[in-house]
Each structure stands twice: as structure tokens, then as C-alpha cells.
Amino acid sequence: MEVQVLGDHHGTLVHLGERECSIQRRHQKLVEETPCTVLTPRLRRDMTEAALAAARAVGYTNAGTVEFLLDADGRYYFLEMNTRIQVEHPITEWVTGIDIVAAQLRIAAGEPLGLTQADVAPRGHAIEARLYAEDPAASFFPSAGPILGLREPAGPGIRVDSGIAAGSIVPLDYDPMLAKISAWGPDRRTALGRLRAALADTAVLGPTTNLAFLQDVLAAPAFARGETHTEFLAEHLPAWRQSSGGEATAALAAALALARPAATAATGGHAPAATPWDTLGSWRLGT
């Protein structure tokens, strides 16, 4: 569990609510949501006040995240503070309407934050899934190489934060995250339905990704009930293997295959200029 805070140089310090980040593998987050389904109003008040007290004690400025562990009996324990923006900030922006990156820039420029705690009025529910270039069926081993085709989802309540495009090379030198796909809805059920549809409409050709694994996580009945915890994957997907799906990827592959003859015709019957990826066979550059 983590609480997003913002503090400026003029003494204003506010929280933007909590994020639930229990779906993890090797302590790496995969799915985050807000608000948390198990927090009571009193527990939410106590936890957010504790986060503000910690930030206030050190005169904190900037965006930051105070992290806690929450046990089954409703007791929470301070874990750490991340003195930076977090990967999962889009879901907080979804429910609060506050651009956290813009707020950071204003704070860095010495400007007042321009809002008080009373101005923070979360609405609806948001969930985010992290798309990684890794193979869940092989102990999440990293996958590298060129992105041959990419289709990102769109639609009401859908947001994609990514730094890739068709033709990008995914190296082994960096974090394997390719994109963050998030969804908002007036309630959790709607947000979850939109995110499931968005993932079903996502396709990546080239490196192996965790897309099918994410779909199975979100399809788990326990996830739909909000019964998430740090051992969720071990309990519900202990020996995961891809069983179905991939319709969007198959459609994208077919579209690319059909486009190649069209490209040849457009060049007067001559094939387009060869690229290294046409001649490497099964080999892929890893650096």
C-alpha cells in the first residue's frame, strides 16, 4: 500500500490518496489500483495522516510516495518512502484529475502547489497493468529484440504510457517495461472491464511479453473480488502457461503479412529494400 504526497516550498503538503500494489513478482509490481478495496474510511484516514506526518517531519518537497505493509488484521507498518514519482502515478491522476508531473515542475520552479487537501476529491476507480518484455512461462526471463509490430488500445477511459513503436529495439540492458496500460471507470467493475478489453486489444510482435499473463491475472475470480495480496501470484497462478488468447497478436501478424505484398506492388513489382531483420533468421541482437 502506498500514499502519494505532494509538498511545495511554501509549506503546503497534501496527499492524493492511496494505491494498492500487492500484485507483484520478485517484489516487482505488475498491477496497481486505486482506491484500495480493503481500506475502511478510518484506516484510510490513519494511513494517509501517517504519510503526511512522515513527509512533514523531514520538510519534504516534491512528489513522493510513502509505502506501507498492511496485514490481515488491518495493522499497517511503515516500509519506505520513494522520493520521486512512481511508475503507477497515472491511476492517481485518473481519480484525482491532478497532473502530478506538472505539479512537480511547478514545485521545482518554486511556485505554490495551488491546492489544499480540501481540493483533492477522488472519484471513480482506476487500475493499471505493466506490460513487460519478459517470458512468464520461463521464470519471467527478459526478452529482447526488435518490435516488428505494435497495436496499442484506445477508447473511453483508456490510457497508454509507452516509449516504444514498431521498429524499436528492446535491449537487455534496461528495465523490461514496455508500457503502462491503465483504465478508469466510475466503479471498480467498470474499470476492470475496460482494462480487460484494452489488454485484449493490445498486440506486440517480436519480443515475448507478459500480456497473456496479465490477462489471466485480471481474469482470476479472486482479483474480481478484490482479494489481492503479495502472495496472489503464487496462490492463483503458481505454474502459469499460456492457454489461450492472442487474437489481437494474430490479427496484427496477419495484417503485416498482407501488407508486404502490397508494399511490393507499390514499388513496381520489386521488393522493398532489405533490412538486417530480413536476413538474420532466428538470430536477434541482444545489445
pLDDT at 260: 60
Answer whether 1-123 and 132-263 agree in fold.
Answer: yes
Detail the DSSP E strand segments found in 35-132. 62-70, 76-82, 125-132
Cis peptide preceding 156, ω within 30 of 0: no
CATH 3.30.1360.120 fits 132-263, yes or no: no
Residue ranges of domains in the chain: 1-123, 132-263
pLDDT at 254: 64
- Output the pTM of the full model: 0.86
pLDDT at 173: 85
Widest distance between CA atoms in the chain: 71
- Burial letters for 223-234: b for 16+ Cβ neighbours within 10 Å, e otherwise? beeeebbeebbe
**Antiparallel, parallel or unpaired: β 2-7 and 28-34:** unpaired
Dump pLDDT digits (tens) for 132-172.
Answer: 999 999 999 999 999 999 999 999 999 999 989 999 999 98
57 SS3 class: helix
CATH 3.90.1150.10 fits 1-123, yes or no: no
d(CA 233, CA 228): 9
Dump pLDDT digits (tens) for 244-272.
Answer: 556 666 666 666 666 665 554 555 555 44
pLDDT, tens digit only, all 287 positions of the chain:
999 999 999 999 999 999 999 999 988 899 999 999 999 999 999 999 999 999 999 999 999 999 999 999 999 999 999 999 999 999 999 999 999 999 999 999 999 999 999 999 999 999 999 999 999 999 999 999 999 999 999 999 999 999 899 999 999 888 899 999 999 999 999 999 999 999 999 999 999 999 999 999 999 999 999 999 999 999 999 989 887 556 666 666 666 666 665 554 555 555 444 454 454 455 544 44
pLDDT at 158: 98
- Burial letters for 130-156: b for 16+ Cβ neighbours within 10 Å, e otherwise? bbbbbbbeeebebbbbbbebbbbbeee
Q: Catalytic positions, please?
A: 84
